[in-house]
A and B are shown apart, each in its own frame.
Chain A
Amino acid sequence: MSTDAGLRSRGRRLPLRTAVLVAVVTVLLLLVPWVFGAFTVMTFTRALVFAVLAMSVNLLTGVAGMPTLGQAAYFGVGAYTGALVGIHWSELGVVQLALATLAGVVAAVLTGPLAIRGRGVAFLMITLAIGEIGYTAAGRLDSVTGGTDGMSGIPPVVVTPGGSGLVNEGLIYYYVLVVAAVSYAAVAVLLRSPFGLTLRGLRDNESRLRSVGYRTDSYALAAYVYAGGLAALAGSLWASSQRFVAPGDLGFEISALALLAVIVGGVGSMWGACLGALLVVFTRDYLGQQLSGHAPLLLGILFVLTVYLLPQGVAGGRAQWRRLFPKDHGGDPGTVTPT
């Protein structure tokens, strides 16, 4: 009798092992500014921002089954909103994050109904168009965005009222880390909630969902809006950490890289998406730097290797890892829930 998925029951994973893993990862992430130099810390910061964007892409692509190439547009809305709020109104991080998220939500509410008219490839193409419109708009709206010159002069972000701005790379890293961790927790809660189950149902079988009384378009839109807000939150982090925003930050390449991060990490898995973001950013900015100018080539190799060796992504279950390393002791198969 096959035992595959036999033990597969959500929420019944070994809690101790998970807790230990979370603790170890937390400690490692906290140690980063103490161990590495400024450049590496900044790369980690970018990777964390990118991880939040990848979670947003994964929420749509992996959880709700709506592959998207347009999330960079909402990322851009958040980045410009965060920057504008920082320049003109408040240097307080919480205010910037909240308003940027709100702007992303509004943008997604306005554009979402258009996007969710299609599913699958049609949805992908509409989101691609939305992404391109966002990119073009950012370059053209000189008076708001500074056009193709980008928007500079963003003041350092302030964490507490009356405090001083964060200019030190390590402190900026911690700021981004905390916000990213909170986002991760919010998404983790969402995935275990009834709404999370609804989104997985939407991915698995939309017509069946309709037949038990779901107005499925509403949930597709809700997922779109949630993901839009999350992408905008990431955008605000981007503005705070880079203190410069340009149209290139919301180009097609960013959407594509976010989707690549999700595929490398394992579609549907949130920690996979974060790990994928880390791999993609370090491949591009770190290894790419060493092999001057060959970052796109390296990313291509990363993608090919992943699809070939780990078709379900890094987080895609142990079966494929065991296939890679057959001498590994044969533990219980398929007990990792890719969520």
Chain B
Amino acid sequence: MTQQDAAPGSGTHDGGQGDGPVPALRVEGLSRHFGSLKAVEDVSFKVRPGSRHAVIGPNGAGKSTLFALTAGALRATAGRVWLHGDDVTSLTEHARARRGLVRTFQHSSLFLRATARENVLLAVQRRHGVQAQPWRAVTRRSALVREADEVLDRLLLSHRSGQLAGALSHGERRQLEVAVALAAAPSVLLLDEPAAGMSPADTHAFQEIVLGLPPELTVLLVEHDLDLVFGVADHVTVLHLGRHLLTGLPAEVRASDEVQHAYLGAEDTSALFFEEQE
């Protein structure tokens, strides 16, 4: 199948995004099969630059697989991924990260025996290209430390900077998770269920953090918590049984019969967000 690089409006699942700038992120015909299981099958959508784009779907819809394919943690069976018009399908996860496609993890994935500041520093020093430098103490490279502290400050973690990551609360770890990714200076930030296991208060605080992210940063969010999704997202893509169901504005998604049917058909009633809407 031939692909047209960065041709706006070429996708069939365009969801009304129409003509516009080169998408920050675009997936086309993305599939991943595990044996006979088609976890993700022929999924295509675009994410506009600066968008807050959410991917939702009932349990087993293939959200996590799609996320891993996009980040490069999994190889796609078929399909392509473009970052700012460049085909990154063949790139590994770390190479995509260097190009600005940086992910977080659903289950906090931190450096637990390092302090919060050191967690962030790891991303900062990589970006400055000094990660292999075997001399000069980290503590004395004040420019790096200042930068790390700024990121911690933005994530409301400055008071915890000297603590070991392993000593932080669950909510704080979720924040640090985002801080580490942000410190890698992404142009597209992939958030994998950032509110997983958060209390409602934590989720609300986290929503403020996402809303406070720089407007030029593109955010793709895979999330269960629909309050958070509709609180921050300007575009929503719905997956169902590994397939793309719909991409559209939050209001369109809420109103869609198809989406309603997909969720009502799901066995997990906790996924029924329509009850919460009333």
> Which residues in A have some Cβ–Cβ distance to B below 8 Å?
2, 4-11, 189-190, 192-198, 200-201, 203-205, 207-216, 218-219, 222, 226
Contacts and interface: CB of A to CB of B under 8 A. Distances in A.
A4 B135 contact: no
Contact of A214 (B71, B94, B103, B139): B94
22 contacts: A5-B164, A6-B162, A8-B162, A192-B139, A194-B132, A194-B136, A197-B138, A201-B111, A201-B122, A204-B111, A205-B111, A207-B73, A211-B94, A211-B102, A211-B109, A212-B123, A212-B183, A213-B94, A213-B98, A214-B94, A219-B131, A226-B134
Contact of A204 (B73, B93, B114, B162): B114
Contacts of A222: 132
A186 to B, nearest CB: 8
Interface of B: 71, 73, 92-94, 97-98, 102-103, 105, 109-115, 118, 121-123, 125-127, 130-139, 141, 144, 162-164, 167, 180-181, 183-184
**Chain A contact surface mostly:** helix
Nearest 9 Cβ contacts at the A-B interface:
A213-B97, A204-B111, A192-B137, A11-B139, A9-B162, A212-B184, A212-B123, A195-B134, A213-B98
Nearest to B125: A194
Contact of A211 (B103, B121, B162): B103
Contact of A210 (B94, B133, B164, B167): B94
Given A194-B125, A200-B111, A208-B109, 19 more contacts: A4-B167, A6-B162, A8-B115, A9-B162, A11-B139, A190-B135, A193-B138, A197-B131, A198-B122, A205-B109, A205-B112, A207-B73, A211-B109, A212-B180, A212-B181, A213-B94, A213-B126, A214-B126, A218-B132
Nearest to A198: B131
Contacts of A207: 73, 109
A195 B133 CA distance: 5
Contacts of A208: 105, 109-111, 180
A155 to B, nearest CB: 33
A6 B116 CA distance: 12
B138 A211 contact: no
Contacts, number: 126
A6 to B, nearest CB: 7
A193 B131 CA distance: 9
Nearest to A208: B109
Contacts of A192: 137-139
Contact of B164 (A8, A213, A214): A8
B114 A197 contact: yes
B133 A194 contact: yes
A56 to B, nearest CB: 15
Contacts of A7: 162
A211 B130 contact: no
A8 B71 CA distance: 34
A240 to B, nearest CB: 26
A193 B163 contact: no
Contact of A212 (B115, B122, B137): B122
Contacts of A194: 125, 130-133, 136, 138, 141, 144
A215 B111 CA distance: 17
A9 B98 contact: no
A204 B118 CA distance: 12
B137 A213 contact: no
B256 to A, nearest CB: 33
A211 B105 contact: yes
A204 B112 contact: yes
B255 to A, nearest CB: 36
Contacts of B98: 213
